[in-house]
Amino acid sequence: MDDLATGAFLLPRPRLGYTLTMQQRSALHLLLTAILAAACTTDETAVPNTPTNPADIQVIAPADVDSGSQTDVAVPPQDLCDDIDPASCTLPWPSNHFLRYDPSRVTGYTLDFGNSTLPSNNKGKPIAGNMFARMDGYSVGTSIMAHFPNPDLSNAASERDLSPSLQKDHVSLLLEVGDDDTLTQVPHWLEVDRRAGNFDEQVLFLRPGVILKPATRYIVVFRDLRNMLFTKYERTPFMQKLFDREGGMRQPQFDNIFERLTSFGLKLDDITMTWDFVTASTQALHGTMIDMRDKALTATGSLGATIEITNFKENTLEEDEYIWLDIQATFDAPNFMREIPVPGSTAYRFNTDESGNLVQNGWRKEPVWIRVPQSARGGAPQALVNYGHGQNGLGSQVKAGHNRQPMYDHNLIYYGCNLLGMSESDVANILLLLVDLSDFEWIIDRLHQGLVNHVVLQRAMAQRFSQLPEIKERGIVVSANEHFYSGISQGGIYGPSVVALSPYITRGHLGVPGTNYAQLISRSKNFDEFYAIFDGAYVSRMDQAIALEAVHTLWVQGDSVSWYRRLKADPVDSNITNEVLLTPAKGDVQVAVITNETIARTPDLGIAIMENYDQQRTVSLTEETPYPHQGSGIVLYSYGNAWPPPGNLSPDKYVGHDPGADPHGYARDESFHNFQMAHFFRTGTVIDVCGGDGCTPD
C-alpha cells in the first residue's frame, strides 16, 4: 500500500503496513494515558437539534394510529427499560418503546432514551440519552437485535443467501408497513455476535438486506426459533403478558401489531417475540446538513470562497514526469462550530442561537492541497477531481502515489481538504469517545462541517482556481463542465454523502468502499487495534453491540447509508441526479464488501451489480447487469482472495481462513481500473476493462 493511502475506519492506521509496531503502540498508549489522566466530566450538555421547515416531506401517522391513541410510544417514563427482552434495558433493538409522541416532528415522534437507559462504561456512566432527541426515529441502516443465546440458524437466511427470509415460514420476518397498511417482507439475514465471549452476552443480529426507507414503520417477528439443542425458546414474561392481553399501557400498541400479523396470515401461537420501530425522516437525517450547506454557499457568494496559495512548487518534466504543479493553499470556510475545551483536546458542537437555529460563527481558513499534471501544459483542458482521503487522514493524501499517473493520463487536476470529524485532528477526541460515548455529538456535528467544507471548496475550485494569477499566467485551462469526485477507503465510504450534497459534482468514483459504520467496524481489521480500549471501557460485549447501534443513530446523519437514496431516488436538489462507480476488492480485510451488496439490493437506488461480478458466488436477490451500463454500478476486483466466512469478524480472525495479502490498495494502481474510472467520469457509463471475466487481474 502507498504510504499515503490509509484505511477506512474510526481510528488511525499506521502509514506503513497493517499492524502497529511496538513503538506505535507505545505512543498510542502514552497518548491515551495522558488523555484519560486528565479526563473529567464536562458540564457541556447536548443541544437537541430539531430541524424545522419539513417542506414537502409527508408526515406519517403515528404507529398506533388504528387504535386512536398514543399510549405506548407516547409516554414511557424516563429511564424505563423495555421489558420485552430482559437481557438488556434497550433490547430488543430498535424499539418504538423509546419513541415519544411529538406531533411537531415529521414522523410524529422524538427519540427519547432515559438518563440511565443505554449501556454504562466501567465508571458506571450511561451513554447520555438526551443527545438522541435530535432524531425522530432510528437509523435507516440499523441492525435489529434480540437475545436468543446459541440459536440454531441452520435453515435461516445468511449473508450469502437471503432468499429464505422472504418465505412466510422463515424463523424471522421483517415487515415494512406501507402507506396503505399493507405488510411487505424485507430481505434480511441472521447472524450471532461472534465477538461475544459467552452465550449470556451474545445477541442475535437481524441484518436488513436493503437500506431501510426513512420515516417508515417496521414490524419484527421471531417465531419457532430454537437453540442448538433444538429446544424452542419460550416467550419472555412480559411478551407473554402482551399475548395474554395483560400488557397495561403498551397493550393497545401490541394489539395493533397482533391484528396486522394475523391479517398477514401468521399464527400468533407460533410467535416468540415481536415489536415495531420507526425509522428517522429525511428531515431529521439531513435537514441540518442541507441547512448548513445552503447557509455556507450564501455566505461565500456566487464566486465562492477565496483561495490563498501558501506554497507553490513547479516541476520540470525532468523533475517529475507526471506532476507539474504542487500547490498548498487555504480557503475561507464559513464556520458553524463552537469550541468546547476538553482534556488534551478541543471538541466541537453546532453553533446555535437561543432558538436552536444553526448560525455562522465567523470563518476558518482550511487547508487545501492541489496537484496539476504535466498534461496541462499547452492548454489541454483539465477536469477537476475532489479527492476523498483515507481513514482519519488529511487532504494531503491527494499526493498519494496511485493518483499520479491517472492525473497525467486522463487530464485530471486533483484537490483535497480534510474531512473534519473523521480527520487526523479528530483522533484525540475519538480516543476520548471510546471510553465514554456520551459526547458522540462531537464527532457527528464536526462531520457536518467537514462534509459541507467539501462543497464550499468545490465552488471555490470551480469559480476561482483558474483565475488565480499563478494558474492563469501558465495558460492552464479548466473544463467548465467536468467536475468529479474520487475517494479511497474512508473517502469511498463518505463519497456518496459528498456527491449527494454537492450541487457541482454529479459523478463519483468510490474506491474500496463500504457503508454503514455500525456494521463495518466489527468486520474490519482496522478497528482491532483499538478494541482493547473499547473492551476496557464497555466490558460487556452485549453492551458494546447496543452502544455501537445507538451512536450510529446519530452517525447516520453523515454516513453514506442514509445518503445513497439522496443520489438519485430522492435528490437533495431536485434538478440534479448523481451516479457513482463502486470498485470494491474481494477479500478486503479493511472494508466489508458485503455492505455494498446491500446497496445493490435496495431497489430504488438503481445501483447495478455488473456482470461476472465474481467467479465463485452471485449476490443474493440481485441480477447482474451487462456492460456497457449507463448509470451507477459495482465492479468487484479480485486478486485471488477467498471470501471471508460469514459473520461479524474481520477476515483474519477466522480460524482456518487465510485472508492472504490484503487487496485493499491494489486496484488503484491498475491502469485499466483508472481508465474505467476516467471513462465513467466523462460519460457516466460503466465499461468492461477486464476482458469478460469480471475483474480478476492475473
Tell me the per-residue pLDDT of 102-133, one tens digit each, with 9 for 90 and over: 999 999 999 999 889 999 999 999 999 999 99
Peptide bond into 92 cis (omega under 30): yes
Alpha-carbon separation of residue 270 from 150, 226, 245 (angstroms): 20, 12, 16
Contacts of 509 (CB under 8 A, 6+ apart): 484, 485, 486, 487, 495, 580, 581, 583, 677, 680, 681
Q: How is residue 368 written as a grid cell?
A: 487545501
> Which one-letter amino acid corresponds to residue 109?
Y
For residue 582, give the H/E element and its range.
strand 579-583
pLDDT of residue 245: 97
Q: How much is the mean pLDDT over the chain?
A: 89
Instruction: Choose between 2 and 696: higher pLDDT.
Output: 696
Cα–Cα distances in angstroms (integers) from residue 327 to residues 99, 309, 320, in the given order = 50, 7, 14
Is pLDDT above 60 for 35?
no
Residues 6+ apart with CB under 8 A from 491: 387, 388, 389, 390, 419, 511
Indicate the DSSP class of residue 266.
-
- Which pLDDT belongs to residue 531? 79
Contact assessment for residue 598 and residue 209, using Cβ atoms and an 8 Å cutoff: yes
pLDDT tens digit string along 425-445? 999 999 999 999 999 999 999
Answer with the residue of higher pLDDT: 528 or 159: 159
Mean pLDDT confidence for 269-283? 98
The per-residue pLDDT for 513 is 98
Report the SS3 class of residue 276.
strand
- Please tell me the predicted confidence (pLDDT) of residue 697: 73
Q: At what angle do helices 541-555 and 441-463 cross, to 10 degrees?
A: 40
The pLDDT value recorded for residue 50 is 31
Asked if pLDDT for residue 417 goes beyond 60, the answer is: yes
Nearest CA-CA partner of 587 in 526, 517, 637: 637
Written in H, E and C, the secondary structure of 32-76 is: HHHHHHHCCCCCCCCCCCCCCCCCCCCCCCCCCHHHCCCHHHHCC
d(CA 594, CA 690): 22
Q: Any residues with CB less than 8 A from the CB of 298 and at least 6 apart, and which?
A: none
Q: Which of 1-15, 163-177, 308-322, 412-426 has the lowest mean pLDDT?
A: 1-15
pLDDT at 251 over 60: yes
pLDDT of residue 47: 30
Give the C-alpha separation, 82 to 80, whole Å.
7
**Residue 268: band (very low, low, confident or very high) from pLDDT cuts 50, 70, 90:** very high
What would the grid cell of residue 23 be? 513503538
AA letter at 55: A
Label residue 630 exposed, middle or buried (CB < 10 Å: 0-12, 13-18, 19+). Answer: exposed
Output b/e per residue, 461-484; b: 16+ Cβ within 10 A. Answer: bbbbbbebeebeeeebebbeebbb
Residue with cell 501558501: 310
In 73-149 the beta strands, taken as DSSP E runs, fall at: 99-101, 109-111, 144-146
Listed residue (497, 473, 475) closest to 485, CA to CA: 497
- Label residue 188 by pLDDT band (50, 70, 90): very high
Write down the residue that cell numbers 451489480 correspond to: 609
Contact 515, 494 (CB under 8 A): no
Helices 441-463 and 427-435: crossing angle in degrees, nearest 10, is 160
What is the tens place of the pLDDT at every residue in 335-344? 999 999 998 8
> What pLDDT score was predicted for residue 698?
56
- Residue 190 confidence (pLDDT) above 80: yes
* pLDDT of 55 higher than 80: no
What's the rounded mean pLDDT across residues 604-627? 96
Residue 153: predicted pLDDT:
97
> DSSP string spanning 473-517?
TTT--EEEEEEEEEEETHHHHSHHHHHHH-SS--EEEEES----H
Closest CA to 212 of 624, 565, 650: 565
Give the model's confidence band at 522: pLDDT under 50 very low, under 70 low, under 90 confident, else very high: very high
pLDDT band at 568 (very low <50, low <70, confident <90, very high): very high
Give the confidence band of 592 by pLDDT, cuts at 50, 70, 90: very high
Name residues whose C-beta falls within 8 Å of residue 446's C-beta, 6 or more positions apart in sequence. Answer: 337, 348, 420, 421, 426
Hey, what's the cell of 502? 454537492
Q: Which three cell numbers stand for residue 403?
A: 493518483
Looking at residues 35-48, what average pLDDT do you find? 35
350: left (phi over 0), alpha (psi -120 to 50) or beta: beta
H-helix or E-strand containing 521?
none
* Sequence ranges of the domains in the chain: 1-45+300-488, 65-280
What's residue 343's pLDDT?
86
The pLDDT of residue 61 is above 80: no
C-alpha cell at 366: 482550511
pTM of the predicted model as reported, rounded to 2 decimal places:
0.90
Of the pLDDT bands very low, low, confident and very high (cuts 50, 70, 90), residue 80 is confident
pLDDT at 433: 92
Show the cell assigned to 182: 399493507
pLDDT exceeds cutoff 50 at 156:
yes
Mean pLDDT of 277-289: 98
- Rounded CA separation 681/686 (Å): 9
- What span, in angstroms and rounded, lies between the C-alpha atoms of 56 and 216? 16
Give pLDDT tens digits for 358-392: 999 999 999 999 999 999 999 999 999 999 999 99
- Is residue 5 very low, low, confident or very high in pLDDT (cuts 50, 70, 90)? very low
Stretch 609-630: mean pLDDT, rounded?
96
Of the ranges 54-63, 401-410, 428-437, the best mean pLDDT one: 401-410
Provide long-range contacts, Cβ within 8 A and 24+ apart, for 565-569.
Answer: 565/140, 565/211, 565/214, 565/602, 565/604, 565/605, 566/282, 566/286, 566/496, 566/500, 566/501, 567/496, 567/499, 567/500, 567/605, 567/632, 568/605, 568/606, 568/632, 569/604, 569/605, 569/606
Residue 71 has pLDDT above 50, yes or no: no
| pLDDT tens digits for range 193-230 | 999 989 999 999 999 999 999 999 999 999 999 999 99
Q: How confident is the model at residue 79 (pLDDT cuts 50, 70, 90)?
A: low
Residues in contact with 697: Cβ distance below 8 Å, sequence separation at least 6, in sequence order: 637, 638, 639, 666, 670, 690
The reported pLDDT for the residue numbered 155 is: 96
Q: Stretch 489-499: mean pLDDT, rounded? A: 98
**665: which residues sit within 8 A by CB, 6+ positions away?**
1, 2, 5, 402, 512
Q: What is the pLDDT of residue 21?
A: 38
Q: What span, in angstroms and rounded, lies between the C-alpha atoms of 433 and 537?
A: 10
**All cell numbers assigned to 405:** 499517473
